[in-house]
Chain A
């Protein structure tokens, strides 16, 4: 990870923290391609299939989002992000295999991997979404899986757009909390 990228991430994340959607979206997009390359390399090293990388990218993005206030503005973004990602990777491997010993790449050595197929995977996240209470599941399903816009969802569920955003916010928090717990695999 270069200094220029660090400066760029800092600028974008600062924008996101103050509520700028476009800046935040760009941050998450750029970060996700780094996370993907990093997760693929780390999984390969641990003897796992790189196909699991997308799950880890998604879990990390949700954790980054719900805990973004824990980034200290006086500190660089990279090490903080690496800490969150590493935590999620180890957690995910522990859930799947029961082991949590692995060597993890530093971001500096990572070649970013832009997504090719829109990053379709996320079996874990789908399972979590199904466990959300009532409307939250419907909203997250509509947003994430069907790619609908908030105003359309609001009309469909006869809610205000603000209420949809609040429900989304709660759902994301709930998702992040669920990832912290052991979730039995269905297969």
Chain B
């Protein structure tokens, strides 16, 4: 086969290309996020003191932390979906530092006396199970979009998709869960998200190789 003929055939296929990865991700999330939200509202329910708790204590802080995870996941996801720029892996160090600081603040502000109680909380196991469940639809959507992208490191791209989806799941679960202690969040929420990251990495190695 001649390269010249290949070029000829390819240029004849110069129909307008697919929308960019970012745009397609936004469209897919417009479908996936409402599914997770509906699950949250229908099955779990929002905690009753949500509005009141937002203004006081750690509830709002927890949601901000999880939103930060989601934002970092989104940036890593977009960057690792294509060649050209290295993924900003320093975001991971930033997140680790934020969580360490949050756990430390917990101990300083609330005292070291009953830290074990706060760490174990009321719903540790439920947190581990529910966050991945709520993350399933966004993760599936992100992997689907990534299949038509060009990740140089499929495992990393899948893991980034998992971080983003895990963040979405954690924000939603956070609306239901009454454990707000940063110590609890840094342990169990992060563990739940890590499960999604692992699932994303495995999915990436399986489906994102090109």
Which A residues fall within an 8 A CB radius of B?
A: 16-22, 24-25, 28-29, 32, 54, 57-58, 61-63, 65, 67-72, 75-76, 79-84, 86-87, 115, 118-122, 125-126, 129, 140, 143-145, 147, 150, 165, 168-169, 172, 176-177, 179-181
Judge whether B15 and A80 touch: CB under 8 Å: no
A8 to chain B, nearest CB (A): 16
CB contact under 8 A between A58 and B6, given known A69-B21, A145-B1:
yes
Report whether A24 and B14 are in contact in the complex, using a CB–CB cutoff of 8 Å: yes
**Chain A residues near B50 (CB-CB < 8 A):** none
Q: Are A87 and B83 interface neighbours, CB within 8 A? A: yes
State in angstroms the CA–CA spacing of A98 and B85 once bound together.
27
Most buried by A among B2, B3, B4, B18: B3
Taking CB atoms, residues of chain A closer than 8 Å to B75 are: none
Contact A17 B16 (CB under 8 A): yes
Contacts A17-B17, A21-B12 given: A61-B5 contact, CB under 8 Å?
Answer: no
Contact status B210-A19, CB under 8 Å: no
A16 to chain B: which residues have CB within 8 Å? Answer: 11, 14
10 contacts between A and B (CB under 8 A): A17-B16, A22-B11, A25-B11, A62-B6, A65-B10, A69-B148, A75-B85, A144-B1, A168-B9, A176-B210
Additional A-B contact list (8), CB under 8 Å, known A16-B14, A65-B13, A70-B20: A17-B17, A20-B14, A25-B11, A54-B3, A61-B3, A79-B84, A122-B1, A143-B8
Question: How many residue pairs, one in A and one in B, have C-beta atoms under 8 Å apart?
Answer: 143
A82 to B139, CA, bound (A): 29
B150 near A: Cβ within 8 Å?
Answer: yes
Q: Are the C-beta atoms of B9 and A28 separated by less than 8 Å?
A: no
Q: When chains A and B are docked, how far (Å) is the Cα of A19 from the Cα of B82?
A: 22
Q: Report whether A172 and B3 are in contact in the complex, using a CB–CB cutoff of 8 Å.
A: no
Q: Do A179 and B210 have beta carbons less than 8 Å apart? A: yes
Residue of A nearest to B14 (CB): A24
Contact between chains at B9 and A140 (CB < 8 Å):
yes
The distance from the CB of B180 to the nearest CB of chain A, in whole angstroms, is 39
Using known A-B contacts A32-B7, A61-B6, determine if residue A84 contacts B150 with beta carbons closer than 8 Å: yes
Judge whether B15 and A69 touch: CB under 8 Å: no
**Among A83, A125, A169, A179, which residue has its beta carbon within 8 angstroms of that of B1?**
A125
Which B residues are in CB contact (< 8 Å) with A122?
A: 1-3, 6
Is B44 at the interface (CB under 8 A from chain A)? no
Determine the chain B residues whose CB is within 8 A of the CB of A118 once the complex forms. 2-5
> A73 CA to B166 CA in the complex, in Å?
29
> Residues of A contacting B1 with CB < 8 Å?
58, 120-122, 125-126, 129, 144-145
Residue contact A71 to B82, C-beta cutoff 8 Å:
yes
A75-B85, A80-B84, A144-B5 as given contacts; A21 in contact with B209, CB under 8 Å: no
Question: Most chain-A Cβ atoms within 10 A of its Cβ — which of B8, B150, B152?
Answer: B150
**Structural contact, B7 and A25, CB atoms closer than 8 A:** yes
B208 to chain A, nearest CB (A): 9
- Cα-based distance from A73 to B12 in the complex (angstroms): 22
Are B16 and A18 interface neighbours, CB within 8 A? yes
Given A18-B16, A21-B11, A172-B10 in contact, is the A143-B85 Cβ separation under 8 Å? no
